Structure 1
Amino acid sequence: MNPIAGYTALIAVSAATLLIGIYGLRFSRTTSDFYVASRSVRPWWNASAIGGEYLSAASFLGVAGLILVSGADALWFPVGYTAGYLMLLLFVAAPMRRSGAYTIPDFAETRLKSNLARTVTSFLVIAVGWLYIVPQLHGASLTITVATGLPGWVGAVVVVTVVVVTTMAGGMRSITFVQAFQYWLKLTAIAVPLVFIMLRLGSTGQDWAGDGAAFLTNGDNGNWYRNISLALALLLGTLGLPHVLVRFYTNPDGASARRTTLIVLGLLSAFYVFPTLYGVVGRTFAEDLASGSNADATVLLLPGRIFDGAASDALSALVVAGAFAAFLSTTSGLVVSVAGVLSQDFFGGSVNGFRRAALLSAVVPLIVAVATDSLALAGSVGLVFAFTASTLCPMLLLGIWWRGLTDIGAVVGMGVGTVLCGGAILTSALLNGPPPMLLQYPAAWTVPAAFTAMVLASRLTAHRKPSGIERILARLHVPEHH
């Protein structure tokens, strides 16, 4: 790839992000603007912003890389990422909006009337946010190395710098403008080069589609444990992602939260067609990437394999721009959600507290990302989903739908999920060689364990059910009247 094209794409996306973020500052005046954009974001605008922040490094780069390496087995990722939103629509979106909370810890405190439950939830939201930011920064490191030849850490530093400036400038209001723009940029950046690639390949008469399709059906579909565990992690993990849930607090009401989720399902489904096809095409034209550590670079490198000269540079630059938009939008959403929790719990909840928290929220994962090597992007994000499904998801689902949940039950369940799933992730990271399947895909046993512990501990502490539970649940489930 021509480094000039890479630099141009990087500078253009960063500059556009900063300009839109600063434009958003004109509308960010109050604390409510910073945390939830004053709960005034309309469904289409909000859905674009959710699509912007949800389609991360794993979606833009990792899915194509996994399909290149694993064939049909990797289709669980785009299917699971999208189906998770269906679960969100059915079980969580409207009640979360009606709860009136700013953050997930706010919800825990409102529902369970407990400072202890709030504190534990706060630490988990921060942990999930930081775990999720690290793969974005690894993706930025990979992209900047492929696009410009610069050392990887430069990409991570650029992403963190741009995100901190836009977040500190205007909080959630600015980030909403930025992320909505970045969804459409990502869709354009991944779709347009692929259309040109398909047209070029169609004119050659080569049966690349047959080769790719044969490979795609060649997965190891016999591993039922892995498939079930991965599906469980992706479906339930989406329900507890703090940067996704905080978006529903920005809708005017529960009905618009549901409408937003429906639109998101459409936007995600449209997007995931493209990385899947990149993986199929890559199997024929970039097969060498499957055996190395560069599978995640398939989307970045494919235009250069098919085209020469100016066409190669232009299409490669567009893909690099889309990739950086993915890192920036997801990281900014995570920084806003983590900063919201940090500032509410540790910095007094003011606008200045939010800005200090935003800086801290971005710098800690930057240090971790620079100090560690990247796993396969989609795989590492899959582990974050498993962790979220084992911790925050049970508290949210039982908190919304079961009147028997107590604060001690919630804390015990989240603790069991943290120890089991966190232990599996740590052990996997420390082992030499590939970890056993039970540790690599822990959700199948850690999620049921967390739910079971939460229910049993709540039963044993039934006397701690919060007073006024009927009123709290009515608020979550009765539609608003205007």
Structure 2
Amino acid sequence: MTPAAPALPPVLAVGAVVAVALATVLVGVLGLRISRTTSDFYVASRTVRPWWNASAIGGEYLSAASFLGVAGLILVNGVNALWYPIGYTAGFLMLLLFVAAPLRRSGAYTVPDFAAARLGSGWARRATSVLVVLIAWLYIVPQLQGAALAVGITTGLPGWVGSTAVVAVVVASVIFGGMRSITFAQAFQFWLKLAALAVPALILVLWLAGRGAPAVGSAGELTAALPSGAVSLAAPDGVYRTASLMVALLFGTLGLPHVLVRFYTNPDGASARRTTVIVLGLLSVFYLFPTTLGVLGRIAAPDLAGHADATVVLLPARLVEGPLGTVLSALVLAGAMAAFLSTTSGLLVSVAGVVSQELFGGGVLGFRIAAAVAAVVPLGAALVAGPQALAGSVGLVFAFTASTICPLLVLGIWWRRLTAAGAVAGLAAGALGCGGAVLAAGSVRDPVAAALLGQPAAWSVPLAFAVMIGVSLAARRPVPTATDRFLVRIHSPERREHP
């Protein structure tokens, strides 16, 4: 649902969108001049340094759910929604502990490459490829829905214009420059997104404080405004839903293909670890600002709950009269477009890498064809599907990745007995269990069953791990020598690493 009139002057809103799109395309053109080899297109020739790579990861990881959805959830649900930014950030701690450095040392281009090298199985590679593509498509759809919402609510244009514009710009950037130019664009877009939320949040706090608004009047008043929520932790299924959500967010980060592929761009395992530490710091700073805007919206503009996912765009113009509020909302809109573009481009790069190797023989031309082809399906789904709560829909994608790619990586890196049959069986169990539960949740009326199906990570993740382990142990075959060599390589520090 959108307001009857545009929330911003159409010229200003369109100008903000076009400016971000042009900047992204210009970086893509720059990438065309320096991205010549296959390695450039797939992994930026593995030369991206930690700070630059961390900024790029922040750019692609902080999607529509983070930029728009977190503030909207806090506006509607209060303190209960704080689990989302906590989980999104803490997931990178899991990456640091279990995946980052060994995955980089594997020498793979993509997650299916890792599965093939670790398990020596074409079936495992193909199963992983299908899941990577499916996960990326599921994740792209909320970005395009967010673009439709933001463009429609601020300009009055049809929502499909926003979705189509994002796909067109992203496809052009990926085709022109590949991973190297996308890295440049995503790093720029992270800092734009941070500024686009930080500046309005700080100005709104100072503005309200100067006017003696109760939103900043006392700690007691602020605390009183936060706790009430639509979902109480004391409800029969409240604790389960919260715990299951945290499982999804913590373990789901380990399976996001667009995040994992970025670790292949680091020069070595030590750089991959440093990149992850920097990302943790950047995310911790970033999430302060959508949280602040959600709190301010909950206290000073609760009527925005009807447009919760657009809270960060609408709030500045609502609270600050005159041109300043309008300009701040336009700045937020520019940051939102950066979020849609950066996340979608990272996902499309990860899909293009897999599809080109599986269907088009790899190479630069195959990568470009795959990028164009892979963008069509999520665009069609976004145009057909109805609007969804952004953070909630992305949270379900995290549950799916936690139930599939995460067990494959964790066991593939840390358990030498994992077999190809076990991996494929576990991937199937996690995918069918989690996906089937989410699809069936809408038809269940019992609240406990609805909680178990609607937020399945608490049981679907252990199920996937258990099936992988059980089927692998049932094989009772000796571990191949090639497996031991592979594990030694991914767990042995490079010469450049220092204790």
TM-score by length of 2: 0.94
Contact 1:404–1:462 under 8 Å retained in 2? no
* SS across alignment from 1:405: coil
CA deviation profile, 1:201-243 (whole Å, cap 9, x unmatched)? 0111122135443132234222210111000000000000000
CA RMSD of aligned residues (A): 1.4
Question: 1:476 aligned to 2:476?
Answer: no
Q: Of 421, 425, 448, which aligns to 2:462?
A: 448
1:264 — aligned with what? 279
Shift of 1:436: 1.2
Matched residue pairs, number?
Answer: 480
2:432 — aligned with what? 419
Q: 1:332 to 1:280 in 2, by over 3 A?
A: same
Question: 1:360 aligned to 2:386?
Answer: no
Question: 1:226 aligned to 2:241?
Answer: yes
- Partner AA of 2:287 in structure 1: Y
2:392 — aligned with what? 379
Question: 1:54 aligned to 2:70?
Answer: no
2:111 — aligned with what? 104
* SS across alignment from 2:441: helix
Contact 2:69–2:309 under 8 Å retained in 1? yes
Return the alpha-carbon distance in structure 1 between the equivalents of residues 476 and 266 of structure 2: 34
1:254 — aligned with what? 269
Shift of 1:195: 1.2
Aligned counterparts, 1:106-145, within 5 A: 106-145=113-152
Q: Of 77, 81, 96, which aligns to 1:74?
A: 81
Contact 1:212–1:283 under 8 Å retained in 2? no
CA deviation profile, 1:145-188 (whole Å, cap 9, x unmatched)? 11100011110000000000000001001100000000000000
Q: 1:297 to 1:432 in 2, by over 3 A?
A: farther
1:31 — aligned with what? 38
1:336 — aligned with what? 349
2:452 — aligned with what? 438
Contact 1:406–1:466 under 8 Å retained in 2? no
1:287 — aligned with what? 302
Return the alpha-carbon distance in structure 2 between the equivalents of residues 29 and 250 of structure 1: 16
CA deviation profile, 1:128-155 (whole Å, cap 9, x unmatched)? 0000000000100000011100011110
1:215 — aligned with what? 225
Aligned counterparts, 1:153-302, within 5 A: 153-209=160-216, 210-219=220-229, 220-222=232-234, 223-290=238-305, 292=306, 294-302=307-315
Shift of 1:429: 5.4
1:351 — aligned with what? 364
Contact 1:285–1:302 under 8 Å retained in 2? no
Contact 2:225–2:299 under 8 Å retained in 1? no
Q: 1:190 to 1:332 in 2, by over 3 A?
A: same
Return the alpha-carbon distance in structure 1 between the equivalents of residues 74 and 221 of structure 2: 13
CA deviation profile, 1:44-88 (whole Å, cap 9, x unmatched)? 000000000000000000000001111111111000000000000
* SS across alignment from 2:146: helix
Report % sequence identity: 63
Contact 1:17–1:166 under 8 Å retained in 2? yes
Q: 1:118 to 1:86 in 2, by over 3 A?
A: same
* SS across alignment from 1:227: helix
Deviating 4+ runs (over 3 angstroms):
209-212, 428-435, 464-467
Q: 1:128 to 1:75 in 2, by over 3 A?
A: same
Question: 1:395 aligned to 2:405?
Answer: no
Return the alpha-carbon distance in structure 2 between the equivalents of residues 372 and 296 of structure 1: 17
Contact 1:212–1:281 under 8 Å retained in 2? no
Structure 1 residues not aligned, in runs of 5+: none
* SS across alignment from 1:29: coil
